[in-house]
């Protein structure tokens, strides 16, 4: 019976831990003396050098210690016991989801004597876990060129990560689908539950709002669950005891850029070059962070704007002027005249429909050669697009007491793209624009119940709205007098006539509809308890997620 109870308990703890999302790190190790004997009862204190927040533990009878649920940052690790010199590891970097092992060896002396050790020389190799991961820190994000300052693009630096050729813009890890990745932001859910795969979370990040992130690609710990692909674990920046801030601006313009392969430059044989597609991209923002109350309350704010203007050359098949008039020559040389029911050669007995005539008049004449001689031709025309977007990220860290730490974060993204697909049928016809916004909040309360027991409670909430809207109804409804957008509305002419283009007009850009929208989000509650017992660290808890999804 005891064995059965233990098995059930182990099963419950294992299943619960499969769902956990963890961002914090831990520091553990063994303390010995100069003879190699373990040193029990030594005090180990980890102090965040940016906020002076401190956590302590004592070595057990085996000389081992463990300090869990530490926020990523740079720490000073001090180890002390009467009869030995104090050891101080300064500048020890603890990264997101890292299990850092830091062993020490005491030498006999006064406790007031301090032996300084360069903590940055500590080995970054994971020896406590078998998971394979890649850390992308702030320096990497700021030093490497990013076309749109999307830090998620750096996931591709990880081994085993490729970008599939399916147009999603996402990434596949070790053969898994690009929709199988799990995005976390400050330890809470940041997944698009409706349309996963584009390679970003619901809330975007930029190099100035993110402190660092870790990409876990293989054999990740049970506390990370939900998906079989990679875990992308992002931590936003926070304030420190020093006030700091910056402002930035990035510009990219076609006058300073190279042409693409198909956009010909002038040559001796062709002195008149193709026009260069113009684009203007301005990306600017600011960050500021610091103390509200020294050693106790800190803030950080980042705000970024994007103003992109792009014009591409689009091509469509349009009717000729003669065809639109109702009197044209078919490819076999036959003259067709449907201007009146009695026109010679009018086998239909019908005339040009006035509604169809008005619709055809919306299309300019071909300017780039014939498709069906006398009937249709190619039209090259400019397809402009403007993107107006901005993001806000704010974070507050507060030390409630020596045993309780609270962290709050809110982020908001807004973007309106006037013509992201450049899929219009002709200039200004069936243009699809895309308004979108996303926002999310998180709260993290870390409580040190005693030197052996730490509880970490996290609350997360996000909401994502994305829509696609065509101007087809505004163009066609006044002409037809009916509501288009519930199918491929206008076929001109009937394909069985064999003398004209068999194409359709209406809301084609959105596959038979005038607009589409989705409204999704996730509310999550996570609680993790870490219990250090002897030489063992036991972690268990649970995760509840409420997913909402509405489509129209």
Share of the chain above pLDDT 90, in %: 37
Pairwise pLDDT comparison (395 vs 472), residue with the higher score: 395
At 22 the pLDDT is 62
Looking only at the bridges linking them, the beta strands covering 210-218 and 188-189 are unpaired
Phi/psi-derived region of residue 473, left when phi > 0, alpha when psi is between -120 and 50, beta in every other case: alpha
Residue 20 pLDDT class (50, 70, 90 cuts) = very low
- In this prediction, residues 299-317 reach a mean pLDDT of 93
SS3 breakdown of the chain: % helix, strand, coil, rounded to 5?
A: 10, 45, 40
The tens digit of pLDDT for each residue in 476-508 reads 888 877 766 554 556 555 444 444 444 566 677
Q: How many angstroms separate the CA atoms of 169 and 178, rounded? A: 9
- List, as one string, the DSSP characters of 251-294: EEEGGGS---TTSPPP-SS--SPPPPPPEEEEEEEEEEEEEEET
> Given this model, what pLDDT does residue 502 score?
45
Residue 88 banded pLDDT, cuts 50, 70, 90: very high
Q: Is 516's pLDDT higher than 90?
A: no
Does the pLDDT of residue 359 top 50, yes or no?
yes
Answer yes or no: is pLDDT of 152 > 60.
yes
The pLDDT of residue 540 is above 90:
no
Residue 526's contacts (CB-CB under 8 Å, 6 or more residues apart) are 19, 20, 21, 187, 188, 457, 458, 459, 460, 541, 542, 543, 544
Cα 53 to Cα 68: distance, rounded to the nearest angstrom: 14
DSSP 136-203: EEHHHHHHS--TT--GGGGGGGSTTEE--SSSS---EETT--TT--EEEETTEE---SSS--SSS-SS
- The Cα diameter of the chain in Å comes to 116
Higher pLDDT, 69 or 271: 69
Q: Are strands 182-185 and 188-189 parallel, antiparallel or unpaired?
A: antiparallel
Phi, psi of 425 (to 5 degrees): -70, -35
Does residue 61 register a pLDDT over 60?
yes
Residues in the chain: 552
Rounded CA separation 176/548 (Å): 25
Residue 200 has pLDDT above 90, yes or no: no
The count of C-alpha atoms lying within 13 angstroms of the C-alpha of 132, restricted to the half-sphere facing its C-beta, is: 11
DSSP 219-255: S--TTS-S-SS-EEEEEE----SS-EEEEEEEEEEGG
Within 10 angstroms of residue 412's Cβ, the number of other Cβ atoms is 16
Residue-by-residue DSSP string for 18-72? TT-----EEEEEEEE-TTS-B-TT-EEEEEETTT--EEEEE--TTSEEEEEEEPS
Distance separating alpha carbons of residues 435 and 433, to the nearest angstrom: 7
Residue 235: partners with Cβ closer than 8 Å, 6 or more residues away: 23, 72, 96, 186, 210, 211, 212, 213
The pLDDT of residue 13 is 40
Tell me the pLDDT band of 21, cut-offs 50, 70 and 90: very low
Q: Between 417 and 514, whose confidence is greater?
A: 417
Would you give the distance in Å from CA 449 to the centre of its chain?
A: 35
Q: Nearest to residue 366, comparing CAs of 310, 421, 315?
A: 315
- Percentage of residues in the chain with pLDDT exceeding 70? 89
Q: How confident is the model at residue 440 (pLDDT cuts 50, 70, 90)?
A: very high
**Tens digit of each residue's pLDDT (9 = 90 or more) over 45-56:** 999 999 999 999
Domains annotated for the chain, with CATH where assigned, are: 18-121 (2.60.40.1120), 132-236 (2.170.130.10), 280-315+380-551 (2.40.170.20)
Phi and psi angles of residue 257, each rounded to the nearest 5 degrees, phi first: -110, 165
Tell me the pairing of strands 453-470 and 297-319.
Answer: unpaired
Q: What is the mean pLDDT of the chain?
A: 84
Q: Taking a C-beta distance cutoff of 8 angstroms, is the pair 30, 64 a contact?
A: yes
pLDDT of res. 238: 93
Residue 515: its pLDDT value, please?
84
Dist. CA 39–CA 361, nearest whole Å: 90
Q: Which pLDDT value is given to residue 236?
A: 93
Q: What number is the average pLDDT over the span 229-254?
A: 92
Per-residue pLDDT of 169-178, as tens digits, reads 788 888 888 8
Lowest mean pLDDT among 299-303, 411-415, 445-449: 445-449
Q: Which of 224, 544, 209 is nearest to 409 (CA)?
A: 209
Cα distance between residue 366 and residue 380, in whole Å: 8
Give dist(CA 13, CA 24) in Å, integer: 20
Give the contacts of 360 (CB within 8 A, at least 6 positions apart): 319, 323, 324, 492
Separation CA 535–CA 172 (nearest Å): 38
Question: Residue range 531-536: average pLDDT?
Answer: 81
pLDDT value of residue 503: 56
CA–CA gap between residue 247 and residue 240 (Å, rounded)? 18
Tell me the pLDDT tens digit for each residue of 425-434.
889 988 999 9
pLDDT at 486: 55
Q: Are strands 114-118 and 104-105 parallel, antiparallel or unpaired?
A: unpaired
Cα–Cα separations (whole angstroms), residue 337 to 70, 239, 347, 498: 82, 77, 9, 14
């Amino acid at each position: 019976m005891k064995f059965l109870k233990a098995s059930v308990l182990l099963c419950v703890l294992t299943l619960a831990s499969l769902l956990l999302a963890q961002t914090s790190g831990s520091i553990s190790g063994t303390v010995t003396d100069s003879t190699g004997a373990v040193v029990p009862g030594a005090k180990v204190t980890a102090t965040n050098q940016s906020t002076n927040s401190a956590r302590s533990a004592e070595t057990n009878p085996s000389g081992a210690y463990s300090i869990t649920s530490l926020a990523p940052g740079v720490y000073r690790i001090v180890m002390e016991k009467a009869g030995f010199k104090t050891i101080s590891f300064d500048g020890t970097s603890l990264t997101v989801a890292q299990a850092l092992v830091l062993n020490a060896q005491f030498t006999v002396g006064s406790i007031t004597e301090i032996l300084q050790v360069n903590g940055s020389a500590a080995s970054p190799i994971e020896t406590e876990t078998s998971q394979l991961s890649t850390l992308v820190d702030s320096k990497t994000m700021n030093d490497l060129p990013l076309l749109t300052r999307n830090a998620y693009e750096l996931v591709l630096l990880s081994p085993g990560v490729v970008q599939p050729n399916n147009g999603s813009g996402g990434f596949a890890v070790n053969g898994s689908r690009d929709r199988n990745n799990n995005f976390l932001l400050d330890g809470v859910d940041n997944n698009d539950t409706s349309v996963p795969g584009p390679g970003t979370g619901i809330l975007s990040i930029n190099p100035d709002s993110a402190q660092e992130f870790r990409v876990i690609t293989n054999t990740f710990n049970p506390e990370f669950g939900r998906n079989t692909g990679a875990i992308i674990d992002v931590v936003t920046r926070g304030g420190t005891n020093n006030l700091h801030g910056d402002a930035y601006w990035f510009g990219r313009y076609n006058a300073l850029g190279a042409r693409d392969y198909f956009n010909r430059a002038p040559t001796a044989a062709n002195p008149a070059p193709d026009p260069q597609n113009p684009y203007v991209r301005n990306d600017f923002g600011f960050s500021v962070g610091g103390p509200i109350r020294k050693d106790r309350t800190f803030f950080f704010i980042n705000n970024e704007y994007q103003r992109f203007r792009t014009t591409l050359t689009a091509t469509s098949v349009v009717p000729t002027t003669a065809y639109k008039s109702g009197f044209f020559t078919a490819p076999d040389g036959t003259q067709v005249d449907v201007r009146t029911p009695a026109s010679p050669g009018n086998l239909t007995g019908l005339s040009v429909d006035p509604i169809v005539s008005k619709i055809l008049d919306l299309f300019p004449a071909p300017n780039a050669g014939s498709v069906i001689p006398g009937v249709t031709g190619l039209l090259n025309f400019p397809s402009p697009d403007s993107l107006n977007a901005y993001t806000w990220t704010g974070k507050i860290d507060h030390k409630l007491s020596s045993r309780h730490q609270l962290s709050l974060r809110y982020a908001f993204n807004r973007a309106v793209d006037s013509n992201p697909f450049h899929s219009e049928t002709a200039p200004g016809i069936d243009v699809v624009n895309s308004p979108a916004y996303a926002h999310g909040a998180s709260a993290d309360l870390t409580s040190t119940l005693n030197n052996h027991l730490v509880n970490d409670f996290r609350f997360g909430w996000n909401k994502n709205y994305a829509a696609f809207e065509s101007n087809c109804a505004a163009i066609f409804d006044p002409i037809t007098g009916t509501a288009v957008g519930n199918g491929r509305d206008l076929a001109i002419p009937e394909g069985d006539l064999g003398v004209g283009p068999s194409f359709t007009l209406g809301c084609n850009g959105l596959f038979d509809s005038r607009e589409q929208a989705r409204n999704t989000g996730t509310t999550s509650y996570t609680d993790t308890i870490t219990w250090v017992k002897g030489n063992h660290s036991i972690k268990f808890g649970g995760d509840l997620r409420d997913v909402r999804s509405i489509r129209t």
